[in-house]
Structure 1
Amino acid sequence: MNKPLLLLADDNEEILEFLEHELDEKYTVIKALNGQEALELLKEHAVQLLISDVVMPVMDGFELCRLIKTNLEYSHIPVILLTAKNTLQSKIEGLELGADAYIEKPFSPEYLQVQIANLLTNRNKIKEYFASSPLVHIKSIAYSKADELFLEHINDCIVKNLEDPDLDVEKLARLMNMSKPTLYRKIKSLSDLSPNDLINVTRLKKAAELLAEGTYKIYEVSTMVGYASQTNFGRNFLRQFGMTPSDYLTMKEAEKNRPEGGQ
């Protein structure tokens, strides 16, 4: 299994060496001496988490964090800021820029390890919960305002074209005005799904929404969300949500008929 890729940014080479030594057992590590170098590395590598010092020449950690969190290509990347400044104001500034964690120097390597593991694990749990829960909205996997807007836009594009059985990554990239590689990388990093898998999950979530309304029959819903075959629809629904469309329908009807306050 591939180790998660971490990017370390610090103008002190000794600290970079120390951090790399502490982290390289569990992670693949790449290093930058300032924020500008870090941005160049982000263009070349699919980084999963950034650890950056705040005070650096050329571009500091605050500016690096701001640029990452406002750039659609990188806004999903968790950022841990390291700083010798222990003033509350600098902490607030870092968090306002979208930093996911703030660690004061000197820090224990164990504490840093726990912060990294928690950020990566929580993101994975959120992705799994989104994919396996019929009515959880795609916005639940957003990590920043830029991500939220991107996910709303992509969801709208897919939902408007649900009845098109030929909707695929080519068409979706055109609808989103994005290149295929950029779209693929962004969707993969946010959801762990390929664009085609995301299209399918969105179809199935829309189907769950329509079934929950109780207005349509299963074969009608299947057609409405772009499935030519009801059997194929049923199989995919079961694989995604762990229950058949008819079981889901029965469960939703039971919920509606349950008396108020009933268990």
Structure 2
Amino acid sequence: METILLIDDNSDMLDFLSVILGDYYNLHLALNAEVAQNILDKEIIHLIVSDIMMPGIDGLELCKLIKSNVEYCHIPIILLTSKNTYSSHIEGLEVGADAYIQKPFSSELLQVQITNLLKNRSKIKEHFSSSPFEDVRVMAHSKTDEVFLKKLDKYIKDNIKNPNIDIDTLAEHMFMSRTTLYRKVKSISSLSPKELIDITRLKMAAGLIAENEYAIYEISQKVGYSSQSIFTRNFQKYFKMSPTQYYKSLPRA
């Protein structure tokens, strides 16, 4: 079940949102931006619904902060507002909001917006995991995400022959704590850092199989597997076919 962060300084609105969404999602509630930021630092959040008009840091400023922070910028944000002007709508989209809903709104409209945003993210994650040649940056939803994923991918590939890539060292390379790296990677890809490393190994292996220059056992060693049987099992798990079947499925010139 996905987790949604609801932000509104009106407790009645939070109660209303909790009633219409509570049966379908895990919910975290925040009465202001400061509380919301504390939750973001501790939890894996899949989507944010925030009011715009709040004291202190308002919804627009919070949206801008989140979308410029590498730790959270992948999280889709729906902004709620009572302003009924074209300029306010544009302003919401300019700070990076993924959707903008005017109050009062129907519960069905909000639910559909949430479902569509989460479903689109899920499809992209599944496509990346199951497609041998899909680049990790397909999961990027912003330039900040793209830079993060490119740097992460390069480190893994540079150390691909090492069967035991150290997650703490990887986190240090990304200028994050181990916990923050886990939360970021899990949220953006639905994979743990270890699983992402495994998929990167297998995608590189798929490329080597297509080149047809090495035996399967050599390829497994080149991408950091000490056991060919584990390599074959993992390849089958993610790509739904064995390395040999994959080679036979490739088009011939």
Normalization by structure 1: what TM-score?
0.89
- Other-structure match for 2:158: 160
Partners of 2:43 and 2:203 lie apart in 1 by 32
Q: Secondary structure at the match of 1:81?
A: strand
Q: Secondary structure at the match of 2:245?
A: helix
Deviations 1:7-34 (A, max 9, x none): 2112223222221222112223232233
- Other-structure match for 2:75: 77
Q: Kindly provide the amino acid, as one letter, of the partner of residue 109 in structure 1.
A: S
Partners of 2:234 and 2:66 lie apart in 1 by 36
In structure 2, relative to structure 1, the CA distance for the partners of 1:42 and 1:176 (3 Å cut) is closer
In structure 2, relative to structure 1, the CA distance for the partners of 1:242 and 1:35 (3 Å cut) is same
- Other-structure match for 2:207: 209
How many residues in Structure 1 have an aligned counterpart in Structure 2? 253
* 1:75 positional shift: 1.3
Does structure 1 retain, via aligned residues, the 8 Å contact 2:2–2:26?
yes
Listed as ranges, the gaps of 5+ residues in structure 1 are 258-263
Partners of 1:211 and 1:93 lie apart in 2 by 49
Name the Cα RMSD after superposition.
1.7
Match of 1:170 among 168, 190, 207: 168
* 1:161 positional shift: 0.2
The higher relative CO (CA closer than 8 Å, separation ≥ 6) is in 2
Runs (4+) of structure 1 exceeding 4 A deviation are none
In structure 2, relative to structure 1, the CA distance for the partners of 1:240 and 1:168 (3 Å cut) is farther
- Other-structure match for 2:185: 187
- Other-structure match for 2:14: 16
State how 1:212-251 maps to structure 2 within 5 Å: 212-251=210-249
Q: Secondary structure at the match of 2:54?
A: coil
Deviations 1:199-253 (A, max 9, x none): 111000111122223333323322211122223222211111011112222222x
* 1:138 positional shift: 0.7
Q: Kindly provide the amino acid, as one letter, of the partner of residue 59 in structure 2.
A: G
Deviations 1:91-113 (A, max 9, x none): 22222222111111111001101
Does structure 2 retain, via aligned residues, the 8 Å contact 1:98–1:144?
no
